[in-house]
Amino acid sequence: MKKRIIFLRSFDCCERIKNVLVMIMAAMVLVPTFGSQTAYAGIKAPESSLPSLADMLERANPSVVNIATRTTVVEQNRLLADPFFRQFFDLPESGRRYQRTQSAGSGVIVDSEKGLIVTNNHVIDRADEIMVGLSDGRTLVAKLIGKDPQVDLALLEVEANELQHLEFAEISKVRVGDYVVAIGNPFGLSQTVTSGIVSALGRSGLGIEGYEDFIQTDAPINPGNSGGALVDLSGRLIGINTAIYAPSGGNVGIGFAIPTNMVEAIVDQLLSKGEVNRGYLGIVVQAVSADLAKAFNIESDQGLIRGVIVVDVEPGSSGELAGFEPGDIILSINGKSIRRPADFESQTAITFLGDNVTVEIIRQQTEKNLTLQVISNTQESVPGLKLSGVLRGVLLKNFDSDEDGVSEGVLIEGIEDDSTAALQGLEKGDVIVAANRRLISDLASLRSTLQSLSGQILLRVYRNGRFGSLLIR
């Protein structure tokens, strides 16, 4: 009898456990989970309870296009390019081979009435033909309106009806942690969507572009996504996907997009001028250290030191005419807070010839506003010593050319024979295109790069149609 009681109790316990498990399974069926839904025994939750981005993407996808380019590449044997070699062996002048290459990327329609499309400059650089593929199957020939290699943006135009464009989001309201969606054509696969969050804002110093102010995201971005859209959950454009950090060659969840405030400013310039006439302010700044902040009585903002300090003002520049002095602390430019030299650079990137710029500064512990009118976008030759001690005896100048090989950088206009730089291989006529693996587009970007360096500089230079590297120390 005792055994029977024990058996019954065990049976009762099993029944209770079974009932609990049934209740748990029923709860799992009835409670919707994010991004997925499981059905058991015909039980189905209402479709309205399922989270989805489908409605937003139906509106946004037609604004993202596929871009295909064709480029003619000239290949020439180095020996055949040597006039002495050709003359010695009595060879004909021509030794060139022409090869057609193809590439693919993405673009974003930003004005449906005018047929304007934004993409990365590297997507269409040196292209002979640019074709745009729409989501409805149409293929259009695109016209290049203008480009800005320093920011890596290009503006295209197509003639077509019934286009859809993306509205620009207000970038000041974008926060770290916001959900975002990347739309593009990775690996030639049209209309591919990936999702993630905003990982960081104001990323710079990566050496990807001349001017950097990237939105970082973990939304997967792959080859072919370049020029595509990074949108918020309302389908508004917050950035143009540009690059990824891939030390292993694959996607590791670190992608970068150009923010819409920079995109909008560059588009306006290209549309009105056909080129970017970026202004030269003539102001050299550096970060404010904790000691300097204490000495100048600068308050911190959420633990971050405010402002950058002016260390030099070029004679006759826009900065000098506006009244800037060494020792001024720049707090903001046109209402945009400046906390580090990279912030100053990003504002310089969207400052153009003829602009009036309002700059908030601290001078002798008193806050005041200065109005700077950009009167020049060029700079005369600058002694290298003003940028770095290792460039003593070198005369530098902005380089800008449409010739093959290199289109921008810093030209070595003159160099003293007994200078350290000359003895270590730098020559007059060299064009500096990178310093310590960071791209150099002009004197401003070279100056900014050298500010954080000391002791030695690894330069990549262009000389007589070839690239090479020099270590100057």
List the structure tokens of 465: 């149609």
- Exposure string (b/e) for 434-449, b if CB count within 10 Å is 16 or more? bbeebbbbbbbbbbbb
- Determine the average pLDDT of the residues in 111-136: 91
**What is d(CA 422, CA 399) in angstroms, rounded to the nearest whole number?**
19
- pLDDT band of residue 446 (cuts 50, 70, 90) is confident
pLDDT tens profile 188-212 = 667 789 999 999 998 877 777 777 8
Q: Which helix (H) or strand (E) holds 7?
A: helix 2-30
Please give the positions annotated as active site. Answer: 122, 152, 226
| 250 compared with 353, residue with greater pLDDT | 353
pLDDT, averaged across the chain: 79
Would you state the pLDDT for residue 412? 93
CA distances from 304 to 3, 298, 308, 310, 340 (A): 75, 11, 12, 18, 10
The confidence score (pLDDT) of residue 24 equals 44
Spatial distance between the Cα atoms of 346 and 355, rounded to a whole number of angstroms? 15
Q: Mean pLDDT throughout 446-452?
A: 72
CA distance 237 to 41: 43
Q: How far apart are the first and last CA of the chain?
A: 97
pLDDT of residue 302: 58
Number of Cβ within 10 Å of residue 21's Cβ equals 10
pLDDT of residue 61: 92
Question: Cα angle at 68 between 112 and 160, to 5 degrees?
Answer: 25
- Residue 21 predicted with pLDDT over 50: no
What pLDDT is recorded for position 35?
Answer: 41
For residues 88-108, average pLDDT: 65
Nearest 10 degrees: Cα torsion 168, 172, 175, 178: -20
Q: Which residue has the higher pLDDT, 96 or 390?
A: 390
Model confidence at 404, pLDDT cuts 50, 70, 90, reads low
pLDDT of residue 86: 57
| Confidence (pLDDT) at 266 | 94
Residue type at 394?
V
Q: What is the pLDDT of residue 157?
A: 94
Structural domains for the chain: 2-49 (no CATH), 57-276 (2.40.10.120), 283-373 (2.30.42.10), 382-472 (2.30.42.10)
Provide the pLDDT confidence category of residue 33 given band limits of 50, 70 and 90. Answer: very low
Q: What is the mean pLDDT of residues 72-91?
A: 57
Q: Which of the four pLDDT bands, split at 50, 70 and 90, describes residue 97?
A: low
Share of the chain above pLDDT 90, in %: 30
Is the model's pLDDT at 106 over the cut of 80? yes
Q: What is the mean pLDDT of residues 297-306?
A: 66
Query: In whole angstroms, what is the distance from residue 275 CA to residue 396 CA?
Result: 24
Tokens (6 digits) for 245: 């950090």
Collect all residues with Cβ–Cβ distance below 8 Å to 143 and sequence separation of at least 6: 130, 156, 157, 158
